[in-house]
Structure 1
Amino acid sequence: MRTGLILPNDDIAAIVADAVGDWIEDGDIVCVTEAVVARSQNRYMSCRELADDIRAKLDLKPGARLAVVSPIASRNRFALVLRAAAMATRGGTVVVQFSLPYDEVGNQVIDPEFARTRLRLKKVYKSLLEARGNTPHLNILIREVVAALVLQQHGFQILAMRKIMGRGIADVTVRDPGGAVAPLEVTFSEVEKAVRQAAALKADMPEATRAYAATVDLARRTVTLYDAATGGAEPAVVGFYPYGDVEEDMRDPEAIAEAEVGEGAFRHPITGVDYRRLYRETILAGGAQAEVFFAENPLKVYDRGYLDGVILGEVHGREASRELFLSFGARVPVVTLDEIGPPPWGVIGSNVSNYDECRLKLLPEDADATAEAIRRAIRERSRKDVEVLIFGDGAYKDPDTGIYELADPYPAIGQSEGLRTVRLRTGLKLKMHVDTLYQQGLSREEIASRLSGARSAGADEVGTTPRNLSSLVATLADLVAGSADAGTPIVVVRGYLPSEGR
C-alpha cells in the first residue's frame, strides 16, 4: 500500500492507520517497512558521531591500528561504517579482512577460481620449501609453482599444471590477460629450449593461440616471461616480474594478501563493484591508511601485526565470532556492530542516508512498542483487531545471484504482542498425503475426510518443517514491497494468521 511521504518526527502510527483505513479486516497482519519507521523516529547518525563512539569504546589513541573482520561487501550497508572506523583511528591504519571468496551473505569479494587455485598452489609451495632441504631437485617443481603464482598475480589464469595438478601437457597451461589459452614451459636458464618446447606443445593444443616460456630466478626472486609462439631463437620478453615483495605472502596458504591480487579488478558479477578497491578508497577518505587481505579464519587478522582493536563486521555470525576471539584470548578490545552506535541495534542493519554528508540511517528504536502503537491506532481508527509487524530484509537466497538477502539481524524487526506469542508454523505435508491416499484408491471425499481428521489430530512425523511465522510474513512483505523506490511501505497479509495464535 502506498502512503504519502513519511519524514522525521511524523506520527507513523496515525499515518499507517489512515493508510489502511476501512479496508482492513480483523485478523490481518499489517506489515510496515523499518525504513519509514526509523525515519519517523529520526534515527540518524553521522560518521563523526560514530567515529567518536568507536574511539571511546575501543579506547583508540591517535594513529591507532584497527582491524575490521568479515564485513559485508556493500556500499549501502557498510561503506560509511568503515569510513567512521577510519576516522576513529585519527590518521592510523584500518586492516580489513574479507572472508573468501564470499562475504557472509554471499557477495563475491574475490574470484572464486582465483582464490581456490592460489590457496592450493601456496599450500604446495610451502610444502615444497619445507621439504627442499633434503631434496634439492624439488627446485624444479618450486620454479613452476612460483611461475604460476607470479603470473596469476599479473592477470593470468592457471588452467592446468602437468606435474602439480596432474592435468595438461605443459608445465603450466594458462589463459593470458587477453583471453588466449597457451602452454607455458618453465626453466631456470635454458630459454631457447623452453621456447621450442612451448611452440611444439602449442601445435598439439587445438585451443591454444599463444605460447609462452618463463625463466625463474629463485635467488633474485624474478620471473621473466617470453613469447614462444614462433619458436624463434630470440624470443621477445613479454614481462619481467620481481616477486620479492610478495614472496612471504606466497608462503601463507591460509590467506591472500592484497599485493598478491595485483592490479586486477574483481568486480561483483551483479553490482559491478570491486569491493576491495571501494573499501580501500573509503578508508583513505576517512583519513587512515588501508590494508586489505582475504582469509576464512577470522583469527588470521592477528598475523597482520599489532592491533589496537577489532570490529567484527558480521551480522548473523557475530556472536560465534566473538566467542571465537574470546576463547582464544582476545588480545585487544573486540566489538560487534550492535555494540557501536546507539542501542538497541548499534549500526547493525544500518543504511546510507546521505553518502556525501556521511550520514547513516539506523534501525528503529523500540520497534515492538512502535508495532503496538500502530495496532492501537488502527483499532481506534477502523475498529479492527489486527497484528502489526515491522519488517526489514527478507530471509531468502536469490537463486539468480546466490546472494542471501538478509543483511538485517532478523526479518521481523518489531512485532505486536499477538505475533510474539504465535507458535512455529507447522502443518501436514499435504501434497504427499494427497498422492499417498489417492494411490491407495480413496475417493476425493474420502481423501478430504482423512486430511481433515489428520489436521485435527495435529501434524505427524512427516509434516512440514516448522517455521517462525513472523520471519515468514516479514520475508513475504519484503519481497512484495520491493525497494523503497516503489513507494509501498505497507503490506497487508490476510488469512495467514492461525486462529489459535490470536
Structure 2
Amino acid sequence: MERLVGTVSRGIRAPIIREGDDISKIVVDSVLSAAESSGFQIHDQDIIAVTEAVVARAQGNYATVQQIAQDIKSKFGGETMGVIFPILSRNRFAMCLKGIAMGAKKIVLMLSYPSDEVGNHLVDLDALDEKGINPWTDVLTEERFHQLFGPARHTFTGVDYIAYYKELIQSCGCEVEVILANDCRTILDYTKKVLCCDIHTRARTKRLLQKAGAETVYCLDEILTQPVDGSGCNEQFGLLGSNKATEERVKLFPRNCAPVVESIQKQMKERTGKHVEVMIYGDGAFKDPVGKIWELADPVVAPAYTAGLEGQPNEVKLKYLADNDFADLEGQELKDAISDYIRHKDADLTGKMVSQGTTPRRLTDLVGSLCDLTSGSGDKGTPIVLVQGYFDNYTK
C-alpha cells in the first residue's frame, strides 16, 4: 500500500533532568521507550532533537548573579557603564541585568524602540507616526517617552519593561538613567564604557562603538566565557542564550555539545541498527503575527548537530510543476510525471524557477523551529523531539 503520511514530529517525554545525569543515555532510552509504548519504528534519517535546556542542566552549566557581577566589575571597573539594546524579557535578560547592576555604580540603560531586537514592542509604529517621532534619529528620555506614549506595557505579558528594568537596577543599589535610541553611538554621550546586549547584531554594534571612540566595549557573548569563582561558562556565547533558573541564578547555553549529539547517534546505531541524525536546539526562528515577536533569543537555533543536517533543502515546488511543466496532464499520468521529475532533479536548484516558493533556509533552522513549536516552552514535558520523514519527498 502507498504510504500517505509525510513528516511526523513527536514530542518525547523524559525524566526530569538533573545536574550530572547522562543526557545521551536518557535521550536514547526515552526515544526507544516511546517507540515501544506507542508502536512506531525508528528509521534511517530520523531526526532526534534535544532542547538545549536539558543539556545545560545535565552539564550543571549555571552562574549566580554574584558571579556575573564579579566578571562585569573586572571588565568595566565598577563605575558608570552603558547597557544597550537588551531584549525585553524576564526570563532571558532580567537576571543578567541584576548581575550587571550589582557590578556597576551607575547604568545608563539604552533601549531600542519601537521594539527590541526580537520584536517585543514598547510602542506601536503607528503611534510614532502620530507623534511625529523618527526612531532612526530621535533620542528620547524616559520622561519624554512617557509623556508621548504612557506606560510601555507588553502585548502579551502586560509588563512595563522600562519600569521593570529600572526598578530591578535600583534594587541592586545601582543608579540608573533610561534613554531610548537606535544609534548605538548615542550611548557615548553618556559613557565610554559599554556592554552591548544585542544578540544577532552585536558584532556590528561593537565595531561602530569602537570606531566612534568607545574606551571599553564588550558584548554579552564575552561575559562568563570562562569560570568565575566556580561558575559555569560558555566559551563561545558567554551569557547569550541564558535563561533564568532562580531569583539568583541563570542557566547558561550548553557548551561542548558536539560529543552529546555524536554519542546519541552512536548509541542509536548500536541499539537499533539505524543511522539517525541528532541535533540540540534552542529557540526557533519564526515571527508571531500578533505580537510581532520573531522568537530567536538564542544566539543560534542549533548549537550542535550531526553531519547529515548540514546544508539546506533542495526541493521543487509541486504546484509550479503541475501548473506549468505538466499543465496538460491529469491523474496518474500527472503523478508519474512529477515523480520522475523529482527523481531526476538537479543537485542544486538555487535560482531555478522550479524551486521558487520553497524555503531556502538551513536545515537546522527549519528543523529546530519545528522542534521548538513541538516541545513548547511550558509544561508539556517533552524536551526531546523525534522527527520522522523529514527527508522524504513525493516519490517515497
The verdict on a shared fold, with TM-score over 0.5 as the criterion, is yes
CA distance in 2, matches of 1:4, 1:377: 19
CA distance in 2, matches of 1:259, 1:109: 14
Residue 281 in structure 1 maps to residue 173 in structure 2 = no
* One-letter amino acid of the structure 2 residue matched with residue 290 of structure 1: V
Q: Secondary structure of the equivalent of 2:292?
A: coil
Question: Offset of 1:498 from its aligned partner?
Answer: 6.4
Partner in structure 2 of residue 75 of structure 1: 90
**1:355-391 per-position Cα deviation (integer Å, ceiling 9, x unaligned):** 2xx1000111112221112222223333332111111
CA distance in 2, matches of 1:253, 1:428: 44
Partner in structure 2 of residue 332 of structure 1: 215
Q: Contact 1:368–1:415 (CA<8 Å) still a contact in 2?
A: yes
Residue 35 in structure 1 maps to residue 53 in structure 2 = yes
CA distance in 2, matches of 1:95, 1:261: 16
Residue 428 in structure 1 maps to residue 312 in structure 2 = no
Q: Secondary structure of the equivalent of 1:260?
A: helix
Q: Secondary structure of the equivalent of 1:16?
A: helix
**1:306 aligned to which of 191, 196, 213:** 191
Partner in structure 2 of residue 173 of structure 1: none
CA distance in 1, matches of 2:387, 2:287: 22
Q: Contact 1:344–1:366 (CA<8 Å) still a contact in 2?
A: no
Residue 417 in structure 1 maps to residue 311 in structure 2 = no
CA distance in 1, matches of 2:123, 2:107: 19
Q: Contact 2:326–2:337 (CA<8 Å) still a contact in 1?
A: no
**1:257-286 per-position Cα deviation (integer Å, ceiling 9, x unaligned):** 012134832111111000000100111122
Residues 498 and 448 of structure 1, relative CA distance in 2, 3 Å threshold: closer
CA distance in 1, matches of 2:66, 2:266: 38
CA distance in 1, matches of 2:96, 2:123: 21
CA distance in 2, matches of 1:54, 1:116: 38
Question: Offset of 1:324 from its aligned partner?
Answer: 1.8
**1:32-51 per-position Cα deviation (integer Å, ceiling 9, x unaligned):** 11111110000100011111
Q: Secondary structure of the equivalent of 1:492?
A: strand
Partner in structure 2 of residue 451 of structure 1: 338
Q: Contact 2:49–2:385 (CA<8 Å) still a contact in 1?
A: yes
CA distance in 2, matches of 1:54, 1:498: 49
Indicate the larger mover: 488-497 or 455-464. Answer: 455-464
After TM superposition, the structure 1 = structure 2 runs for residues 351-390 of structure 1, keeping only pairs within 5 Å, are: 351-355=243-247, 358-390=248-280
For these two proteins, the number of residue pairs brought into alignment is 357
**1:421-458 per-position Cα deviation (integer Å, ceiling 9, x unaligned):** x332121121121122454x223344334323432132
CA distance in 2, matches of 1:14, 1:262: 53
CA distance in 1, matches of 2:126, 2:331: 54
Residue 7 in structure 1 maps to residue 18 in structure 2 = yes
* One-letter amino acid of the structure 1 residue matched with residue 315 of structure 2: G
**2:373 aligned to which of 466, 470, 479:** 479
**1:315-349 per-position Cα deviation (integer Å, ceiling 9, x unaligned):** 111112122223333x2211111110131220101
Q: Secondary structure of the equivalent of 2:284?
A: coil
Q: Contact 2:82–2:191 (CA<8 Å) still a contact in 1?
A: no
Q: Contact 1:119–1:254 (CA<8 Å) still a contact in 2?
A: no
Question: Offset of 1:465 from its aligned partner?
Answer: 4.1
Question: Offset of 1:113 from its aligned partner?
Answer: 4.3
CA distance in 1, matches of 2:306, 2:44: 15
CA distance in 2, matches of 1:381, 1:324: 53
Question: Offset of 1:398 from its aligned partner?
Answer: 1.1
CA distance in 2, matches of 1:3, 1:306: 48
Residue 405 in structure 1 maps to residue 291 in structure 2 = no
Q: Contact 2:52–2:282 (CA<8 Å) still a contact in 1?
A: yes
**1:64-103 per-position Cα deviation (integer Å, ceiling 9, x unaligned):** 11111111000110011111111111xx111111111100
Partner in structure 1 of residue 9 of structure 2: none
Indicate the larger mover: 332-341 or 106-115. Answer: 106-115
Residue 48 in structure 1 maps to residue 56 in structure 2 = no
Gaps of 5+ in 1: 124-251
Partner in structure 2 of residue 104 of structure 1: 117
Q: Which structure has the higher relative contact order (CA within 8 Å, separation 6+)?
A: 2
Q: Contact 2:142–2:178 (CA<8 Å) still a contact in 1?
A: yes
Q: Percent identity among equivalent residues?
A: 38
Residue 495 in structure 1 maps to residue 389 in structure 2 = yes
Residue 347 in structure 1 maps to residue 233 in structure 2 = no
Question: Offset of 1:111 from its aligned partner?
Answer: 4.7
Cα RMSD over matched residues?
2.2
Residues 262 and 100 of structure 1, relative CA distance in 2, 3 Å threshold: closer
Q: Contact 1:477–1:491 (CA<8 Å) still a contact in 2?
A: yes
Q: Secondary structure of the equivalent of 1:462?
A: helix
Partner in structure 2 of residue 20 of structure 1: 31
Question: Offset of 1:399 from its aligned partner?
Answer: 1.4
Q: Contact 1:104–1:314 (CA<8 Å) still a contact in 2?
A: yes
Gaps of 5+ in 2: 1-11, 36-41, 225-232
Q: Secondary structure of the equivalent of 1:474?
A: helix
Q: Contact 1:17–1:378 (CA<8 Å) still a contact in 2?
A: yes
Residue 393 in structure 1 maps to residue 287 in structure 2 = no
**1:323 aligned to which of 207, 212, 229:** 207
**1:200-251 per-position Cα deviation (integer Å, ceiling 9, x unaligned):** xxxxxxxxxxxxxxxxxxxxxxxxxxxxxxxxxxxxxxxxxxxxxxxxxxxx
CA distance in 2, matches of 1:2, 1:348: 27
CA distance in 2, matches of 1:72, 1:325: 19
Q: Contact 1:111–1:266 (CA<8 Å) still a contact in 2?
A: no
Decide which structure has the larger Cα Rg and report it. Answer: 1
